[in-house]
Amino acid sequence: MIILTGGAGFIGSNFLKLLNQKGYNDVIIVDNLSNTSKWKNLVGKRFKYYINKTEFLKNLDKLNFSNTEAIFHFGACSSTSEQNIDYLFSNNLEYSKKLAKKAIDNNIPFIYASSAATYGNGDQGYSDNVYYDLRPLNAYGFSKHLFDLWVIEKGYDELFIGLKFFNVFGPNEYHKNEMASMVYKAFNQVKNSGRVKLFRSYNDDFEDGEQLRDFVYIDDAVNLTWQLFEKRIKGIFNIGTGTTNTWNSLAEHVFNTLQKPVNIEYVDMPEQIKNQYQYSTKADISKLFESGIKYDFLTFEQSIKKYINNYLNINQPYL
């Protein structure tokens, strides 16, 4: 049996699909569906049963983990603009600690989602060997950073698999609203208005739309997760491509895939995110490959075409 928290979410539901393809159907989904559309991400997937996160935590000490093969902990508040710090710490830090302790007590492999938001503005680089000097720019990144530090201080990085996801995009992200990827937003903007809106740059080193990101397609993200688990490789790893692309190139690929003329409008960045904005991210994936992982990523253009042609543009948005 596998426990998959956040199993109805973006990364979780894609990983559930991969588990099904690998023959794993005995999966317990832990999530909070409430009044969201996340339930659609579970349609067509195979799992044992679903349990609400609150009920799961309430009964955590009563659960029998004897037949649990692994715990994949992808459940979290992923909003980088969340202002309720107590909620973030409860959901992203304390929840993770409780589940991690259960994994330790029962000798169960524990695989959890961290984030590239832990790196802040990148002044300390993007190496997954650097921890204590990081300065996250938002409370979400800080909550993830604190759990990484707890894992390291306990020595659990030698037992767990931590995944610092960079800019992941692909099917089943639609419930995320403002936190959905720019690829998804750009597709809808082109369809609705024939143009894409991008933030102006407020950094003299970057022209408008030339801010850089390490974009990784969801298939690559979950396949890397599976490889690390299957090979029982322990540690905290960046899950990115090790390459960068600009927001302008993202928009251009979307326009080209839809066979539409490029039409980009640059708009003011909201005041509340100006001081939290990352102008360039690029995963250092040397540790990942040195661990024995071998992987060929889709190119950014290939990923966007796959997402749009296989899902968004044929009214088949769900995986």
What amino acid positions are annotated as catalytic residues? Answer: 140, 176
Quickly tell me which residue has 């299957």 as its tokens: 230
| Rounded Cα gap, residues 76 and 140, in angstroms | 10
| Rounded Cα gap, residues 152 and 148, in angstroms | 6
| Rounded Cα gap, residues 289 and 283, in angstroms | 12
Quickly tell me which residue has 């339930």 as its tokens: 39
Beta carbons within 8 Å of 258's beta carbon, 6+ residues apart: 187, 190, 191, 308, 313
Neighbours of 53 (CB within 10 A): 17
Q: 196 — phi, psi (to 5°)?
A: -125, 135
